[in-house]
Amino acid sequence: MSNLKNVKLATATNITTTYAGEFAGEYIAAALLSASTIDDGGLTVKANIAFKEVIKKLATGALVQAAACDFTPNSSVTLTERIIQPVELMVNLQLCKYDFVNDWESQSMGFGLGQTLPPKFSDFMIAHVASEVAQNTEFNIWQGDTAAASNNSFDGFEKLIAVAVAAGDIPAAQAIGGGVALTAANIVEKLSDVVTAIPAQLYGKEDLFIYIGSKAAKLYVQALGGFAANGLGANGVSNMGTQWWNNGSLTVNGVKIFVGQGLSDDKMYAAQRSNLYFGTGLLNSTQEVKVLDMSDLDASNNARIVMRFTSAVQFGIASDIVSYV
């Protein structure tokens, strides 16, 4: 028998809540920074961009020369600037409180001694929306395209890097792939091609990663397990098949691999984490999180959730990126 008639979330339990500016930052951060590429440390986060910010990168030529009495400047300085301008975004969502109250009550009652009480019902609903926003953010970090019919939130790295390749900002030797799809039979070779294309001055840097999607990661584990024509033998690494890997870190030819959940299947990129940025404005006055209890307004059992926030990605130096597409 349904127990909805016993649920009491009417006018006596109004859940209308508003957080604005820096007070909304905690909830916005939970939504945006939980995207796996950010949460796992794959990007440099600029968290307090009010409107836009200039990313400046300084490069110099040869500095050391033979000693002389005179001052003889012989080096060049190149200042590269790129703009990161977070896009204003929002969530407008209406939910029925009945759909959430059972889960909320089970958490409120706890499952044993020492179980801490959950946040109030409005925070519980915000947390649900935040997880959805995190998934959307992860997708847009990589595949976002404001020109797409699906009305994605902001332009992601795949589009930004493609523009840089077309403009010649990324050297031709670092734009590889030729549209070849990744398979278990060629994944080791193609990852090695990416390593080969990495500029010598970047190889060995602590924050250098090859960014791959979930498909490529699975193929790489499969190949190292010996289940592909890769020269490792039928039993793979240490004769363990794929059992050698327990969701730990992956590397190829001395370069760490980062699995970006939102990255496309057959695309890979090599870059320093310090060259890839995610920008938002957690302390901006325009940030807002609001839960509106509609029971006092239209006598329904609905709640409306409003979020307003900003997001964008950008890279610093295009010539320090390798693109496999």
- Number of neighbours of residue 191 by Cβ within 10 angstroms: 26
* pLDDT given at position 283: 64
**What gap in Å lies between CA 118 and CA 105, rounded to an integer?**
9
* pLDDT given at position 149: 74
Q: Which structural domains are found in the chain, ordered by start?
A: 14-60+73-133+140-324 (3.90.1690)
* pLDDT given at position 304: 87
* pLDDT given at position 231: 58
173-213 residue pLDDT tens: 999 998 899 999 899 999 999 999 999 999 999 999 999 99
* Cα end-to-end distance, the chain, whole Å: 55
* pLDDT given at position 2: 38
H or E element that contains 304: strand 302-315
- Is the distance from CB of 118 to CB of 107 less than 8 angstroms? yes
Amino acid at the residue 305: I
Token representation of residue 48: 């307090």
Ranges of residues in the chain with a pLDDT under 70 are: 1-25, 59-61, 100-121, 151-152, 227-234, 236-237, 241, 243-244, 283-286
